[in-house]
A and B are shown apart, each in its own frame.
Chain A
Amino acid sequence: MSSRDELGWAAVKGTTGLVYLFLLFPLLAVVIISFQPSKYPTFPPEGLSLTWYEAFLDSDRMLSALTNSFIVALGASVCAGVVGTITALGFVRRSFPGKNVLSSVLFLPMIISPVVIGVALTAFLTRMGMQKSYLLLIAGHTTLVLPYIFVTVRAQLYGFDRAVEEAAMTLGANELETFFEVTLPLIAPGLAAGMLLAFVISFGEFTATQFWVQPATTTAPIEIYTMVRTSITPMINAMATVLMLITVAVPLALDVLLGKNLILKSGL
């Protein structure tokens, strides 16, 4: 490798490092500030305290927003998991007219701005006379995360050796038994990865969600936004830290628990 190449490579590494620092430093700042007792952040920190975490745990609004986020993220990833798996199965294993066009349509929720999706779904459901509810939230989030599951499961199905399913059938398993005994366990890594991604995306979704919530179903990101706009309290930092922790910890914990180590191994 010539010295010019080395110089170029060093520049790439340096720039990457700076970009990450720029992106991650504010997050780190939020975490540090959340442990400071003073109402206005100072630097260097004046001391450590869990004051704002106590306040956060005392706040019914905050806790209920966090619970709502959990319910919605769990509901959406499960719904999208079921629908996405069935859709991927259909697209990989069956041929039907307009398959290519339809598969592009399936990616629209990934491409179209969430604002548009948020407004459109609200307008549509209001016309239909439906109320804003958990159901609407879960349905909306399912739409948003469906492409991620479709992609991961489809990738898993492309490399699938169908002879194992045929073997199961000759050995006495009917279609349903074959699916649960053979197909599902074998596509599980892709499905799990997709569902984790879906959970994390739904948990932190703000843009479209703001159109779908009502006071009782407000999710954590919306609550933080509302608090920032109405009253500046450092409790927001505590909540933001908790939110970050959950978004990182849930997938990692599941990854280790399931023993697949998908995330840790893939370096995702």
Chain B
Amino acid sequence: MSYVQISGVTKTFGDVRAVKDVSFEAERGEFVSLLGPSGCGKTTTLRMIAGLETPTEGTIEIGGEDVTKQPAYERDIGMVFQHYALFPHKTVGENVGFPLKMRGVDKAERRERVADALEMVRLPGTMDRSPTELSGGQQQRVALARALVFEPNVLLMDEPLSALDRVLRQQMRIELERIQEEIGITTIYVTHDQTEAFSLSDRVIVLDQGELSQQGSPLEIYENPQSEFVGEFIGQSTKLSGTVTADDDGVTLRTDSGLSLESGESNLTHDTPALAFLRAEKLSISKTPTGAANELSATVTTVSYLGEKTLFFCTLATGEEITVAEHGFTNVGEYGSGDEVFITIPEEKLLLVEDASNGEPA
């Protein structure tokens, strides 16, 4: 039995079903991310775990205890909010000491534990300052210290880095990882940012329109998407639809446009309508044919040099648009719009997903 167990949870607001029959679990000490676009129900799910919303159906268990109907203040959960939610009328020390005060910890011990918590988030000596004097990144650290100082059972974070700028976001992400590893607290993290979810999590849960789409390690999610939504939402890829042909030679996808793409392993059976996701960074581009399998001829539309990588936006001979990303590419100058090029898709890297729409026009 897992430490946090979400079973068949549904949440309805009026006529809107924000979360539909979602079940997942988190082991003790595990870092789990809920990943999805805005409106996918990830924040609502987190708020139900926190006790700020009550599920319409389903149960939430923490440490083997059913807490579904328990109010937030009895759950012993630390939560970090998107916009920090610090108390503006209290000092940093009073903010961090608040959960201890509510638990009846005496003043002297409170001061000591608050100092330790601020030390942990690398903000020593800020106790008597007002949170409104601090920068966004510092406020987020205070919020984290406040959520951890009472040693809660579970730490919940709702897009904690989204209000920070890019550089600060990366620093805080590394900091978060360090702190979480240091204290080993079970963490559930909500984000729409794939980089955050992948770099921090042991396990990623992808939500789509209130439903659980797929869960697994970042590697599994990225390399083996199980649905059209996950294939499109994660990474940057070109989608081609067609039908699977499976024979002794292996699995081939015949696209609706008439291309024939060989795939390494696939558990899809003959005649299954399927989608291929061509990840931009798994494709390679060249001016001359290499003779490899899965080589497609195309015309360059735009070349976009981004420094660490170069994006080639091309049109296949069959008309589809395709994006190729090359890393550390130095002969960018040789490519220009209108050039004839050859794009290779390594067959072991062709991602095939069963087409749930069953070939019906979308």
Contact = CB atoms under 8 A, between A and B. Distances in A.
A177 interface: yes
B46 to A, nearest CB: 11
Interface in B277-294: none
Given A171-B99, A171-B102, A166 B72 contact: yes
A161 B83 contact: yes
B51 A170 contact: yes
Contacts of B144: none
A262 interface: no
B121 to A, nearest CB: 16
Interface string B183-223: 00000000000000000000000000000000000000000
A172 B81 contact: no
B150 interface: yes
Contacts of A164: 85-88
For the residues of A in contact with B, the DSSP-based class is helix
B220 to A, nearest CB: 31
Interface in B90-125: 98-99, 102-103
A177 B102 CA distance: 8
B102 A170 contact: no
Given A163-B81, A177-B102, A185 B72 contact: no
A173 B73 contact: yes
B231 interface: no
For the residues of B in contact with A, the DSSP-based class is loop
> What interface size band does chain A fall in?
10 to 19
A168 B150 contact: no
Contact of A171 (B71, B83, B88, B146): B146
> What interface size band does chain B fall in?
20 to 34
A16 interface: no
A169 B53 CA distance: 12
A265 B243 CA distance: 73
Given A186-B88, A186-B89, A170 B73 contact: yes
A199 B189 CA distance: 50
A54 interface: no
Interface string A179-201: 00110011000000000000000
Interface in A147-181: 161, 163-164, 166-174, 177, 181
B83 A172 contact: no
Nearest to B94: A181
B322 interface: no
Given A169-B72, A171-B147, A182-B87, 8 more contacts: A161-B83, A163-B82, A166-B50, A170-B75, A170-B156, A172-B76, A185-B89, A186-B88
